[in-house]
Structure 1
């Protein structure tokens, strides 16, 4: 595209050998999407239907599962359509919507993980005050902030991008992430500064808070009896695994955007696949296997299914 003409449609230019492997891509991604919906929905329903799981820790887990489903639904249907289409295009407005959901839900996951870390901190370090501190109001405030704060921030970024001129119509990727900034005719200092603020408030500060709470949990557990250490390990290990996984995936996304021009198309596609493929499945698998109460009910559910 030449000059300062705005693009109505954006073309995804990150697919590899799509004409040869379109049906293989389609089957793999459709299978993964079905598994994501099934696994997340199963554990969510278990938490929803069992009243003894209506505790803050399990409510935050349910919120993470909802996040994963919406995150995947923002990406997979469009990818599946692209695999079977002659042209992989998206309208600029739909691209901005995908960008908004991609990053607002990603930031929400960091804040939900921070809320879970605080819940574990209060449970292990201040057990007598736990019912008072982690009451229904506190949980609702944490959930509201986790979803509304990133949504407002990313919406502002999307609006800034919507008001900027586009000089390109080919996007070097398979989805609308930060690579959309390369389509603009010129960079914006205001957008860059605001993006830095979003990164700090939605990712770095939650990470620092999580490290602080877990350092306190580690100190208290080390000084306490074996039962306290066992409880801390059972409830905190799944949370840490999810945190490490998600942080690495976010780092992948930054690397893809910042250094994308130095990577081959195949490598960019593989790294993008890491961001969208296994993490939405990782959440339910880890919590289903490592959380004792959830694992116990999953075994009962599938054992009853086999009987019938």
Structure 2
């Protein structure tokens, strides 16, 4: 096959789409409803936390960062997905494809760092309750949120720049949205540097926050087993939504990494598409529900805002 320079590839073809007839209109309506709910729920919670001074505490400020990131990640996927569902020709321009890769990957990285910072916050609140407000100052919260957003963007930019510089032998990627490793697999040139930087990036943006989460919860469990009943109740009430969010996101993230790095041809195409979309849709759908319903303060203020009693 003739070698094609990446600068000459003007578009990519998304090969995972197939003709579903009139069913595509029903799918469009379902995905549109999902996106509308994600925007409404996350914006509602951000507004509730921002306008209420009683919620200007570290835990809720980290939640604002989490909800804003979910709006960012959803916007990087849903409008594009809605257009592709109705379209008969499933193509995407090369610049937009790399932009979407950047949005999706930075969303996932920021999400993990958000969850790691939140686990650290819960660790301080449960293990060092008397020193909590001294340790978790407003300036420290601002620095942690800034690092949560800035570091993943710089980390993702390097492998994405390397991918955009590759010489490609084709333009068909077997996904429903742009994926960096799918583009790298089209390369005619040597990709060892891309693979090395890809593994380094995965270690930095996936395993580092996961290790911080694991360490924080090991310390929390140690305090719970040796502490009073009141301490255990506090840990359960504050950590349950966070743990549920971690497990939900880790499942989707793990499958996406496995699907991009290993041959998953034995898995049915519909299941692969569902799980790849789960990675980007269920977290923004799931988190507003779990935090909005589980945390009493947020639940009561949301009711007041919705029914005009605020």
Query: Normalised by the size of structure 2, how large is the TM-score?
Result: 0.94
* Map of 1:88 onto structure 2: 90
| Equivalent-residue separation in structure 2 for 1:118 and 1:41 (angstroms) | 25
SS at match of 2:4: coil
* Map of 2:249 onto structure 1: 246
Matched, 1:227 2:230: yes
Change (3 A) 1:76 1:210: same
Give yes or no for contact 2:5–2:166 (8 Å, CA) kept in 1: no
Change (3 A) 1:175 1:204: same
* Map of 2:29 onto structure 1: 27
Give yes or no for contact 1:165–1:185 (8 Å, CA) kept in 2: yes
Deviations 1:153-198 (A, max 9, x none): 1111111011111111111011012322222224411211111111
* Map of 2:125 onto structure 1: 123
**Structure 1 residue runs of 4 or more that deviate by more than 4 Å after TM superposition:** none
Give yes or no for contact 2:3–2:167 (8 Å, CA) kept in 1: no
Range with greater deviation from structure 2 (98-107 or 252-261): 252-261
SS at match of 2:32: helix
Give yes or no for contact 1:16–1:265 (8 Å, CA) kept in 2: no
| Equivalent-residue separation in structure 1 for 2:26 and 2:188 (angstroms) | 37
| Equivalent-residue separation in structure 2 for 1:249 and 1:4 (angstroms) | 34
Query: Normalised by the size of structure 1, how large is the TM-score?
Result: 0.94
* Map of 1:47 onto structure 2: 49
- Please tell me the root mean square deviation across aligned C-alpha atoms, in Å: 1.7
| Equivalent-residue separation in structure 2 for 1:213 and 1:247 (angstroms) | 16
| Equivalent-residue separation in structure 2 for 1:116 and 1:163 (angstroms) | 36
* Map of 1:274 onto structure 2: 278
* Map of 2:197 onto structure 1: 194
Task: Report deviation, 1:45.
Answer: 0.7
Deviations 1:87-110 (A, max 9, x none): 111111111111111111101111
| Equivalent-residue separation in structure 1 for 2:161 and 2:278 (angstroms) | 28
| Equivalent-residue separation in structure 2 for 1:95 and 1:154 (angstroms) | 15
SS at match of 2:169: coil
Matches within 5 A, 1:130-209: 130-177=132-179, 178-209=181-212
Task: Report deviation, 1:81.
Answer: 1.0
Aligned positions, number: 306
* Map of 1:108 onto structure 2: 110
| Equivalent-residue separation in structure 2 for 1:21 and 1:182 (angstroms) | 32
SS at match of 2:12: strand
| Equivalent-residue separation in structure 1 for 2:307 and 2:73 (angstroms) | 31
For structure 2, the residue ranges without an aligned partner over 5 or more in a row are none
| Equivalent-residue separation in structure 1 for 2:69 and 2:48 (angstroms) | 17
Task: Report deviation, 1:292.
Answer: 1.9
